[in-house]
Chain A
């Protein structure tokens, strides 16, 4: 190619012009990494081989996608830490100074470089930037928590934040209130407090974990993490913004560009996307408003709960309605039938009120009305478990969400008994799962118990691959699998199962 013929040997480029010589100095300078953690302020400047470039990026990418998967699976912070430790050790080890490892500098160099390579790869669109910043912050948080206390302090110190410390007098004046916000500390002299604008620590404010006085937040030293994290995210966000603006200049490069593109396209979301294939189930007649009641025996608990509430009150509040409408849309109920379903279910209200206040919402969810983007996307996609689990908890009178999460244990057990789950052992297991906040495990446990006979059959016959008996993470998958297992052997059902494996 012409262009590559004209390329100047990169090693010589810096020496070409005396005007540029002042920059040449930094080009070969190897950074010395004093701390384990890195705020990624300075870009790396030494050369690395193309192989290293790609290899390191892929290592980091693996770590980030595993981390994302953890958040999608709703793992608790402890579980995430233990799960990630082996992955980090394998792909992106990072040891503390005290470990005196000989490869310390190399590890840190790899961490540093890989971060900046991915920055290049993921700065092109706002979506990618946002996702990258979120995951990098998660990774940073994970490492920050693990870090040795003394080294952590040294690291924070090196960042030179100008946080105002509370004076002794001030501390004494507010002592009672300060202690009330930090359970575990008995004496104000044990701890130092920073005084910052409350907007810097929204996370702590939201959970009422800091004292607020006229817009100032009093952050105890040990909550410093959220301050550091906020700063990390802030800086990363603006740095990514800058990178994206500088990105077009890379266009000339035919060595890096393909690698970067490859990286960003492979960073696909492992989020359980709803595929329309979940909608049509072979062998099942098209659902209508009239047979929802019959089908509801195959619904997961969240939907059964909505269904029962709807039948009991002849009404559902907005978020519950939305969750249920989308699920019904997901099982293949057409818009017309869906409107009929809601109209009939809301027995107590007039046609006029229904048309005025509810009809539009249903149509909007189906993408029949609304903005261009909504219509083109054919409305909203049915909610996954992850979505349902991360939504705000229902308030008084509301009934959306995942019952395993929103119900008090006793109410949950009685709801389960109402839908016909009465096995003691099973209920005990459910209670245990819920106590550990593993809501989807509890749900799958109920599913497996309810379909244990059928699951055994298909396993024996080998008609179902392991993939089909994977953990359920979408209410519509729950329905589909439940329906198919209960209709084994009927025409159409079997082929469908074979097709999928």
Chain B
């Protein structure tokens, strides 16, 4: 079942896209090297539009006069709306695909070998292409090589593209098969999607699409817990975490074993990691048996410190009356509940951390004779988990057939590039310092080193702040390929390697 698919998708699925090209677009893209100069001018004009601030104009010698003519006294701070619009502007996106997006490494990552194999060729890609006010969603795209993928991106300029499973045959040829049942998905990385919207009922700082540093820690916590479980419990090693561009993170588990799992196994892992159940009306969201499963004990230890600082202090989740009422409803003892209610009613605006402390204090003061200490401790553990444990969009992980946005796409709303997150430096990752397309393109322009170093041409992305992320991705991909080679040698089928 496609989740938000735009109306035209079926009709236009396989239709040629030629008519969407701007006049000079197509020729430029195909012979990119020759057309470089033309693109350059065109793009910089655009860049100026979005960097409306006058003081940086001098850096763009080629177009500076033009801009100055148009807006003689531009305001120092650009309006956010125009900035957003320009981030996904067609020409910017085209420049992104031409100069920044690391197709080569994406190819190697999915292909697991230097020569194109079915791993890549039978892989489904889905493109979201803006056309007018609507987006067109093209499914079942597939490519023989990285270059062809790049070419199509440059030509169609999708606002994003997604990666699906590898099928039994080339997805483009699926309709030529005699039997429809012969076309089925066989392999895909195990994926996870953590999205901030699922945290809306416990974060006090922001709502909906917006995030801040305070709530990003929820994602940090989630990554820690999931990553640890995948490595220690399931023995997976090749796990790539990717910033989703706005307010979440994706995980791609690339071990061969993980890629080959069927839906039952995927569902099992998702179920193993999923803890919070129930909608808004189901009351208590954490209902777990004791003794705690080792995975939960470990997660609880991991999360406890975060709970104190990142939840109680910085989120202050029980400040309002109805949120505090929710906390009370989670406490098992009736008398204790009443005592706390009274206490908090008499001092409105009491901080959450004090409220949390009150629970123990009141319990010790003996307001309730029949207090079950063990039940209270369990309830407190449940509360910690409810406010810190990862909230996964489990459906994405359960199905082989689900598509997920590719790493290094550009988020259309923020313009930020979906960069990998290095888990060794997880705490330092700052979603607000992730480079945007426009920033990176600007960096290329202001690059002052030559175009060559040690006898080779410097890639455009090496001139930008995207470099550290692509370097990390490249080392990850190398790891994947190495692991794949090891698996092959162990099975002893390396005949095709003898040249």
Complex CA gap A398/B3 in Å reads 15
- Given A180-B291, A180-B294, A393-B278, residue A205 in contact with residue B269 (CB < 8 A): yes
Complex CA gap A208/B290 in Å reads 12
Do A406 and B7 touch (CB < 8 A)? no
Query: Cβ of B33: which chain A residues have Cβ within 8 Å of it?
Result: none
- In chain A between 166 and 206, which residues have their CB closer than 8 angstroms to a CB of chain B? 177, 179-181, 183, 198-199, 202-203, 205-206
Do B268 and A399 touch (CB < 8 A)? no
Stretch in A244-252, A274-282, A355-363 with 4+ CB within 8 Å of B: A355-363
What does the 1/0 interface line of B262-284 toward A look like (CB < 8 Å)? Answer: 00110111111000111111111
Query: Cβ of A181: which chain B residues have Cβ within 8 Å of it?
Result: 293-294
Does B354 have its Cβ within 8 Å of any Cβ on chain A? no
Do B276 and A396 touch (CB < 8 A)? yes
B183 to chain A, nearest CB (A): 12
Q: Which of B133, B199, B281, B293 contacts A407 (CB 8 A)?
A: B281
Query: Cβ of B270: which chain A residues have Cβ within 8 Å of it?
Result: 206
Do B391 and A206 touch (CB < 8 A)? no
Stretch in B142-150, B230-238, B300-308, B340-348 with 4+ CB within 8 Å of A: B230-238
B85 to chain A, nearest CB (A): 14
Does A443 have its Cβ within 8 Å of any Cβ on chain B? no
Do A361 and B267 touch (CB < 8 A)? no
Complex CA gap A397/B280 in Å reads 6
Does B186 have its Cβ within 8 Å of any Cβ on chain A? no
Does A352 have its Cβ within 8 Å of any Cβ on chain B? yes
Stretch in A29-37, A211-219, A460-468 with 4+ CB within 8 Å of B: A211-219
Chain B residue with the shortest CB-CB distance to A207: B271
In this complex, the member of A180, A322, A410 whose beta carbon has the largest number of chain B beta carbons within 10 angstroms is A180
Chain B interface size, as a band, is 35 or more
Query: Cβ of A179: which chain B residues have Cβ within 8 Å of it?
Result: 291
Does A459 have its Cβ within 8 Å of any Cβ on chain B? no
Does A392 have its Cβ within 8 Å of any Cβ on chain B? yes
Which secondary structure dominates where chain A touches chain B?
helix
Do A360 and B5 touch (CB < 8 A)? yes
Does B197 have its Cβ within 8 Å of any Cβ on chain A? yes
Query: Cβ of B133: which chain A residues have Cβ within 8 Å of it?
Result: 352, 356
Do B201 and A206 touch (CB < 8 A)? no
Do B271 and A394 touch (CB < 8 A)? no
Complex CA gap A202/B262 in Å reads 11
Do A360 and B279 touch (CB < 8 A)? no
Query: Cβ of A214: which chain B residues have Cβ within 8 Å of it?
Result: 232-235
A409 to chain B, nearest CB (A): 9
Does A298 have its Cβ within 8 Å of any Cβ on chain B? no
Complex CA gap A397/B270 in Å reads 19
Complex CA gap A410/B283 in Å reads 9
Do B289 and A355 touch (CB < 8 A)? no
Complex CA gap A462/B382 in Å reads 55
Does A411 have its Cβ within 8 Å of any Cβ on chain B? yes
Complex CA gap A392/B235 in Å reads 27
B274 to chain A, nearest CB (A): 9
What does the 1/0 interface line of A359-398 toward B look like (CB < 8 Å)? Answer: 1110110000111000000000000000000001111111
Do A395 and B391 touch (CB < 8 A)? yes
Does B297 have its Cβ within 8 Å of any Cβ on chain A? yes
Do A180 and B292 touch (CB < 8 A)? yes
Q: Which of A202, A359, A397, A399 contacts B7 (CB 8 A)?
A: A359
- Given A397-B197, A399-B279, residue A212 in contact with residue B233 (CB < 8 A): yes
Query: Cβ of B99: which chain A residues have Cβ within 8 Å of it?
Result: none
Do B234 and A215 touch (CB < 8 A)? yes
Q: Which of B232, B257, B279 contacts A213 (CB 8 A)?
A: B232
Do B282 and A411 touch (CB < 8 A)? yes
Query: Cβ of B257: which chain A residues have Cβ within 8 Å of it?
Result: 215
- Given A177-B294, A393-B278, A395-B279, residue A213 in contact with residue B268 (CB < 8 A): no
Does A335 have its Cβ within 8 Å of any Cβ on chain B? no
Query: Cβ of B198: which chain A residues have Cβ within 8 Å of it?
Result: 395-397
Complex CA gap A180/B296 in Å reads 10
Complex CA gap A479/B29 in Å reads 59
- Given A206-B272, A360-B7, residue A395 in contact with residue B283 (CB < 8 A): no
Complex CA gap A356/B134 in Å reads 6
Do B282 and A407 touch (CB < 8 A)? yes
Does A429 have its Cβ within 8 Å of any Cβ on chain B? no
Query: Cβ of B296: which chain A residues have Cβ within 8 Å of it?
Result: 208
Query: Cβ of B7: which chain A residues have Cβ within 8 Å of it?
Result: 355, 359-360, 363, 369
Complex CA gap A110/B236 in Å reads 47
- In chain A between 394 and 450, which residues have their CB closer than 8 angstroms to a CB of chain B? 394-399, 401, 403, 406-408, 410-411, 415
Does B494 have its Cβ within 8 Å of any Cβ on chain A? no
Do B297 and A408 touch (CB < 8 A)? no
Do A202 and B6 touch (CB < 8 A)? no
Query: Cβ of A403: which chain B residues have Cβ within 8 Å of it?
Result: 281
Query: Cβ of A202: which chain B residues have Cβ within 8 Å of it?
Result: 264-265, 267-268
Query: Cβ of A262: which chain B residues have Cβ within 8 Å of it?
Result: none
Complex CA gap A205/B233 in Å reads 10
Do B294 and A355 touch (CB < 8 A)? no
Known: A370-B10, A408-B281. 4 other contacts (CB 8 A): A360-B9, A392-B395, A399-B279, A407-B282
**What 6 pairs between A and B have smallest CB-CB spacing?**
A215-B235, A408-B283, A206-B271, A394-B279, A202-B268, A214-B235
Interface residues of B (CB under 8 A from A): 1-7, 9-10, 133-135, 181, 197-201, 232-236, 257, 261, 264-265, 267-272, 276-285, 289-297, 391, 394-395
6 A-B residue contacts at CB 8 Å?
A202-B268, A216-B235, A360-B9, A370-B2, A396-B279, A397-B197
